[in-house]
A = this chain, B = another copy of it.
């Protein structure tokens, strides 16, 4: 029954027609339903003067055709590229994208997730290193680079294979004694597999290696200290360095110049990500390239899949090597 002073809702229609709410929703949204049910619903709609408009239709069916992207910022070129390609992938499917830059703020991240739970968006694609982020099981969510539980698919590049590829390239380019430099989150995450992959690659190729690992918040100077410690008679003991990101490789390149080391003649340097200057000119360094457009497509594809069984917990997409002047040309 319609209450005094309020427009009839879909619930009122269901009560009047004596059917489930879902049945009304199906009729309103033009989905298949038995004819007798349809007629009862249509009668009730007419009797109550229930109004269907496109907005309400979207709201009641919990479809906003809007996805939120949770990303720390769009200043970092890897995040900027992900943002762009996810935007393209969503637009191709006539979805809109709310951009939610978080600067890694846990409160803001939780706020956006709650917004999704209130059905203001149909789902979330998120890159977050917040271990306390609570995502309800029925909120469609696809994580990038960090697994957030068995029910939430995670999309990443094949970081392990990327680390391995870096070791193999350095071996192929004649290196004998290499180093791995990493800064980043101490949390379990996909990019951290670059280290294990690199170790595996070094072992299989007989490369001797050292590692210098620092966590977020520790100063870059730790790497400068590590490198200068490994110089004797003006020469660095390494002939190859793999850096966990292109950004780190860029900083290390400057440090090596300061230490009078020649790149790539004496030391070859490989980064990770595949960042180009100004977004599309040349690589900052020789690098393991993440397949960003493919990762973006995969995120959107997984998010919009209806069948949970078809949502694997981890999808890793293949990386490639690109020459960027900090290694010898093969």
Residue numbers of A with Cβ under 8 A of B are 5-7, 49, 51, 53, 55-56, 59, 66, 69, 73-77, 80-81, 83-84, 87-88, 91, 96-101, 108, 246-247, 250-251, 275, 277-281, 284
Could you list some 14 contacts between A and B, CB below 8 A? A5-B49, A7-B49, A7-B51, A74-B81, A75-B279, A76-B279, A77-B279, A80-B80, A84-B101, A97-B98, A97-B99, A250-B277, A250-B278, A278-B284
Task: Give Cα A275–Cα B77 distance, bound, in whole angstroms.
Answer: 12
Task: Give Cα A275–Cα B97 distance, bound, in whole angstroms.
Answer: 26
Residues from chain B with Cβ under 8 Å of A75 in the complex: 80-81, 84, 279-280
Q: Are B51 and A55 in contact (CB under 8 A)?
A: no
Task: Give Cα A70–Cα B6 distance, bound, in whole angstroms.
Answer: 38
Q: Are B250 and A77 in contact (CB under 8 A)?
A: no
Residues from chain B with Cβ under 8 Å of A55 in the complex: 55-56, 59
Contacting residue for A281 out of B100, B101, B251, B279, CB 8 A: B251
Residues from chain B with Cβ under 8 Å of A84 in the complex: 73-75, 101
Chain copies in the assembled complex: 2
Residue of B nearest to A102 (CB): B91
Residues from chain B with Cβ under 8 Å of A74 in the complex: 74, 80-81, 83-84, 87
Task: Give Cα A80–Cα B79 distance, bound, in whole angstroms.
Answer: 10
Residue of B nearest to A46 (CB): B5
Residues from chain B with Cβ under 8 Å of A284 in the complex: 277-278
Residues from chain B with Cβ under 8 Å of A73 in the complex: 84, 279
Residues from chain B with Cβ under 8 Å of A100 in the complex: 87, 91, 96
CB distance from A81 to the nearest CB of B (A): 6
Task: Give Cα A277–Cα B254 distance, bound, in whole angstroms.
Answer: 13
Task: Give Cα A74–Cα B55 distance, bound, in whole angstroms.
Answer: 30
When A74-B74, A99-B97 are in contact, do A247 and B81 touch as well, CB less than 8 Å?
A: no
CB distance from A6 to the nearest CB of B (A): 7
Residue of B nearest to A292 (CB): B75
Task: Give Cα A120–Cα B230 distance, bound, in whole angstroms.
Answer: 60
CB distance from A276 to the nearest CB of B (A): 9
Q: Are A281 and B247 in contact (CB under 8 A)?
A: yes
Residue of B nearest to A55 (CB): B59
When A83-B99, A99-B83 are in contact, do A51 and B6 touch as well, CB less than 8 Å?
A: yes
Residues from chain B with Cβ under 8 Å of A101 in the complex: 84, 87-88, 91
Task: Give Cα A66–Cα B83 distance, bound, in whole angstroms.
Answer: 18
Task: Give Cα A49–Cα B2 distance, bound, in whole angstroms.
Answer: 13
Residue of B nearest to A111 (CB): B91
Residue of B nearest to A69 (CB): B99
Residue of B nearest to A115 (CB): B96
Task: Give Cα A5–Cα B50 distance, bound, in whole angstroms.
Answer: 9
Residues from chain B with Cβ under 8 Å of A91 in the complex: 100-101, 108
